[in-house]
Structure 1
Amino acid sequence: MKPEIEEHVIRFLGMLDTAFRRRGENGLPEPLRRAVRETPRHHFVHRFQADRAGPVEDFATERHLAAVYSDRVLAHFGPDDAALDSTNSQPSYVLWLLHRLGLEPGHRALEIGSGSGWLAAVMGRLVGDGSVVGVEILADLARRSRDDLAALGSANVAIIEGDGAGGQAAGAPYDRAMITAAVWDLPAALFEQVAEGGRLLLPIALAGGAGRDCHVAVLRREGDRFRALEAVPGRFVRFTGPGQEPGAERRRLEELPFWSGIGTTPTSRRPLSLGGRDPARFTGAAYAFRLFLGQTEPGFAAFDGSGEEEGLSVSPFGLVDATARSVAICRPGMLLGYGSPEATRRLDAAYRRWAALGMPGPAAFELEVVRAAQAPRPGRGLWVETRGASALVWRLASAASSPRVARQEAVRDRPPADPGAWIRPPGP
């Protein structure tokens, strides 16, 4: 490796090590360190934007190494400077998720949404004499990543151009699989293509539409279902294809068919204890409550209005009751009602149920992903979200039977971007 590149790679590995420690690990694991070092990121960067406000440029080694070897997302661009619906994800985050997946030498692995091919190449180093299959729907990216992998000598990695909704039967069954895009409905093929006991990393799009926000779960296949081993908040581009449209976008209030008839002035306004008016504290508490609303309330929606750049859970969210011509919206420190009071009453009732359960966050729930036809009936402490061919089954874990324990679980599972406390005690 050339000295000018070596300097940036060493600095990059130091960034990753620090990021892993912040996530509670003992630094960057040695197998992953070797794999990253042997997979130079700049080999997979071509036409990109070094800065969000800067120009789109072709990669030039001397000028762009600092940007490429940084812990940032890099967007892909086509020859016409149009942004592609794919990104080179934030390295520390996607590598930490890969670490949770537990790749080992000899594994057969599948990556749906392989993008530039960099992560697939890292996976190839980790599995050694195993194999990696990447599926990429964007033809130009698939061709480019195949060329880059060949130039790097990654003979155990194959990139298939096509729609990942069908998985890739030719290499099945897979010991490990991951989808690097937010999924609404789990592709049915994966119920068969992931090996018994194998793991699937699945970013699950949040109900109600919430930009790129998702619930990222590591699932283990157990017979005819997947059971979550752990889950964290995250952000990914949307998975495209049949069955992936519902809940894909935030709703615009002015596009609600009855909005012009109820006016734009709130009919009710009162404080809401979700971290007060501090957006940082609101972020953590709102994620937990928003997830609960998505599980329990069919009228749940996230609204456009705060801007994608403000990040996870900051955008307004609440309930829409079209029949009652009613909307309730949660903002930092405030619950706003529009039209009739029905949506506000329902949201208030949901908030009190959540508080009575101890304000559980994601860690307080056990999650299974099953075929829709095999989903159980909802019941006490059990909620079912049917999403096309699949269904999410949420069970309040037995540890959450105590409000104190549940609240501790919620705090433990806060989004990485939220350094503050999650929960303030509910008002009277």
Structure 2
Amino acid sequence: MEPEIEEHITRFLGMLDTAFRRRGEAEGLPERFREAVRGTPRHRFVHRFRADRDGPVGDFDAEPQRHLAAVYSDRVQIHVGADDAALESTNSQPSYVLWLLHRLGLEAGHRVIEIGSGSGWLAAVMGRLVGDGSVVGVEILGDLARRSQADLAALGIANVAIVEGDGAVGNDAGAPYDRAVIMAAVWDLPTALFDQVAEGGRLLLPIALAGGGGRDCHVAVLRREDGRFRALEAVPGAVVRFVGPGQERGAERRRLGELPFWPGIGATPALYRTLSLGARDPARFGAAAYAFRLFLGQTEPGFAVFDDGEGEELSASPFGLVDTAARSVAICRPGMLLGYGSPEAPRRLDAAYRRWTALGMPGPAAFELEVVRTEQAPRPGPGLWVEKRGVSALVWRLAGAAPPPRVGRQKAVRDRPRPAGPETGIRPPGP
């Protein structure tokens, strides 16, 4: 099979090169990444998997030739157990995770920790990139951890180790780390990461969005400075959910029919008016709503994304505010604002919309983000919002907004989410 494998690897590297160029890397896939990927054959880390969440189970060990094309594709692979049930782990979209690693700035000699190492393939690639450095992966699924360690040993990769354990506690034995990687959407940053990442070190962190179902997130590269993390850059993405105590908060979308007071107020809207956000155009609604939804999530404790039961992407889902005490709901849909029950929630949403437009309708790139311990969070102020999530808090600071600028309501959105990527794995969300 060696000539056939070489053919697939060459094709795979071409896919990665094209994807890097599409993401703005003029030189394509860096040569050191090309060498690391070539030296870490992906098929050596793939066993039982699905190429699609509802697709058939593939068994590479039983039929390697049949599955080579799927293994060497730029698509996610979902790990499957012996009972054919999907595991809470994936091989993420290769071009995207490698592009993120490129942003992370891995260098020879770095000590790296990966939380949720899955198959071990990405840890192995990082092992090649850091040379005489070291990589430790922490994987909570015991069978997966043992299998990936065996795959690494079979390839003779000695500077990578997989530890079976809860990623929320990290791995004290190898700390402090120059780089840390989490490839799952985190709601509340585990406190161990504040202690185990070296000063000046970087953390690749998908930050779960409120109401995003646990998957939709900002994927941020953060630098540890004075015991806190400051975002150097962030892009929208979608990844599997990080599991553990406190991680479920804020993740789920709300069903209107499950609100205890909905039967008494949901028959007819008490308020209906047009809303310029999206102007009834679902495509435009996705771009502008992403920015406004982020602002509501930062500033309004009653924020919610609603589930109509139709499986919409986050970018197309209705969202708004719920005020249980006032028995009031406000819902944003393309081109309209709907209010149910008392006027309290629509009033608050309208006020938030006016604040947002007065600030110039800022999108995510207009904010400077810090992740801090909750007890270190500053007091909110003009142009500064604090989102307390548990042991950690997100501090959103509007760039250059002290005091906030006075901008007309019709100013265009400052930045828009990136266009949609493949419908697999860790990826940019829909427009």
TM-score (norm 2): 0.91
- Could you tell me which residue of structure 2 aligns to residue 131 of structure 1? 134
Q: For the residues of structure 2 that align with 1:417 and 1:307, how far apart are their CA atoms?
A: 19
Equivalent position to 2:163, from 160, 163, 170: 160
User: Would the aligned equivalents of 2:58 and 2:67 in 1 still touch at CA under 8 Å?
Assistant: no
Counterparts in 2 of 1:402 and 1:9: CA distance versus 1, 3 Å: farther
User: Would the aligned equivalents of 1:386 and 1:392 in 2 still touch at CA under 8 Å?
Assistant: yes
Q: For the residues of structure 2 that align with 1:270 and 1:65, how far apart are their CA atoms?
A: 55
Q: CA deviation at 1:24?
A: 1.1
What letter matches 1:266 in structure 2?
P
Counterparts in 2 of 1:172 and 1:211: CA distance versus 1, 3 Å: closer
User: Would the aligned equivalents of 1:211 and 1:250 in 2 still touch at CA under 8 Å?
Assistant: no
**2:275 counterpart of 1:272:** yes
Q: CA deviation at 1:94?
A: 1.1
Q: For the residues of structure 2 that align with 1:312 and 1:73, how far apart are their CA atoms?
A: 20
**2:354 counterpart of 1:347:** no
Equivalent position to 1:297, from 290, 295, 300: 300
Q: For the residues of structure 1 that align with 2:269 and 2:18, how far apart are their CA atoms?
A: 46
- Could you tell me which residue of structure 2 aligns to residue 242 of structure 1? 245
Q: For the residues of structure 2 that align with 1:223 and 1:58, how far apart are their CA atoms?
A: 48
Q: CA deviation at 1:403?
A: 4.8
C-alpha offsets along residues 73-95 of structure 1, whole Å, 9 cap, x if unaligned? 11111111111111111111111
What letter matches 2:163 in structure 1?
I
Q: For the residues of structure 2 that align with 1:24 and 1:403, how far apart are their CA atoms?
A: 31
**2:32 counterpart of 1:31:** yes
Q: CA deviation at 1:312?
A: 4.2
Q: How many residues align?
A: 418
Q: CA deviation at 1:396?
A: 0.4
- Could you tell me which residue of structure 1 aligns to residue 426 of structure 2? none
Segment drifting more, 8-17 vs 178-187 = 8-17
Q: CA deviation at 1:137?
A: 0.8
Seq. identity, %: 79
Q: How does 1:16-415 map to 2 (within 5 A)?
A: 16-26=16-26, 27-59=28-60, 60-305=63-308, 307-308=310-311, 310-398=312-400, 401=405, 403=407, 410-411=414-415, 413-415=416-418
What letter matches 1:30 in structure 2?
E
Q: CA deviation at 1:307?
A: 4.7
Q: CA deviation at 1:408?
A: 7.5
User: Would the aligned equivalents of 2:212 and 2:314 in 1 still touch at CA under 8 Å?
Assistant: no
- Could you tell me which residue of structure 1 aligns to residue 11 of structure 2? 11
Q: For the residues of structure 2 that align with 1:211 and 1:316, how far apart are their CA atoms?
A: 17
User: Would the aligned equivalents of 2:357 and 2:411 in 1 still touch at CA under 8 Å?
Assistant: no
Give the 3-state SS of the residue equivalent to 2:137 in structure 1: strand
Segment drifting more, 130-139 vs 237-246 = 237-246
Q: For the residues of structure 2 that align with 1:14 and 1:403, how far apart are their CA atoms?
A: 46
Segment drifting more, 36-45 vs 51-60 = 51-60
Give the 3-state SS of the residue equivalent to 2:207 in structure 1: strand
TM-score (norm 1): 0.92
Counterparts in 2 of 1:44 and 1:279: CA distance versus 1, 3 Å: farther
Q: For the residues of structure 1 that align with 2:412 and 2:121, how far apart are their CA atoms?
A: 37
C-alpha offsets along residues 125-184 of structure 1, whole Å, 9 cap, x if unaligned? 110110001001111111111111111221111111110111111000100001111111
> Structure 2: which 5+ residue stretches go unaligned?
422-429
Give the 3-state SS of the residue equivalent to 1:336 in structure 2: strand
Counterparts in 2 of 1:257 and 1:409: CA distance versus 1, 3 Å: closer
C-alpha offsets along residues 209-266 of structure 1, whole Å, 9 cap, x if unaligned? 4341011111101112111111111111111112222112111211112112212433
- Could you tell me which residue of structure 2 aligns to residue 426 of structure 1? none
User: Would the aligned equivalents of 1:284 and 1:415 in 2 still touch at CA under 8 Å?
Assistant: no
Q: CA deviation at 1:10?
A: 1.6
Give the 3-state SS of the residue equivalent to 1:286 in structure 2: helix
What letter matches 2:13 in structure 1?
L
C-alpha offsets along residues 92-119 of structure 1, whole Å, 9 cap, x if unaligned? 1111111111101110001001111111
Counterparts in 2 of 1:48 and 1:262: CA distance versus 1, 3 Å: same
C-alpha offsets along residues 312-337 of structure 1, whole Å, 9 cap, x if unaligned? 42222111111111111222333222
User: Would the aligned equivalents of 2:307 and 2:317 in 1 still touch at CA under 8 Å?
Assistant: yes
User: Would the aligned equivalents of 2:123 and 2:137 in 1 still touch at CA under 8 Å?
Assistant: yes
C-alpha offsets along residues 357-413 of structure 1, whole Å, 9 cap, x if unaligned? 111111110111111111111000000011111111110001784759x978832x5
Give the 3-state SS of the residue equivalent to 1:245 in structure 2: coil
Q: For the residues of structure 2 that align with 1:61 and 1:271, how far apart are their CA atoms?
A: 57
What letter matches 1:18 in structure 2?
T
> Structure 1: which 5+ residue stretches go unaligned?
424-428
Q: For the residues of structure 1 that align with 2:208 and 2:220, how far apart are their CA atoms?
A: 11
Counterparts in 2 of 1:156 and 1:187: CA distance versus 1, 3 Å: same
User: Would the aligned equivalents of 2:202 and 2:224 in 1 still touch at CA under 8 Å?
Assistant: yes
Counterparts in 2 of 1:210 and 1:197: CA distance versus 1, 3 Å: same
**2:6 counterpart of 1:2:** no
Q: For the residues of structure 2 that align with 1:397 and 1:341, how far apart are their CA atoms?
A: 33
Segment drifting more, 259-268 vs 131-140 = 259-268
Q: For the residues of structure 2 that align with 1:73 and 1:121, how far apart are their CA atoms?
A: 17
User: Would the aligned equivalents of 1:183 and 1:244 in 2 still touch at CA under 8 Å?
Assistant: yes
User: Would the aligned equivalents of 2:176 and 2:198 in 1 still touch at CA under 8 Å?
Assistant: yes
User: Would the aligned equivalents of 2:214 and 2:248 in 1 still touch at CA under 8 Å?
Assistant: no
Q: For the residues of structure 1 that align with 2:72 and 2:407, how far apart are their CA atoms?
A: 44
Counterparts in 2 of 1:275 and 1:408: CA distance versus 1, 3 Å: closer
Counterparts in 2 of 1:132 and 1:407: CA distance versus 1, 3 Å: farther
Q: CA deviation at 1:208?
A: 3.5
Q: CA deviation at 1:18?
A: 1.5
Runs of 4+ in 1 over 4 A off after TM superposition: 399-404, 406-409
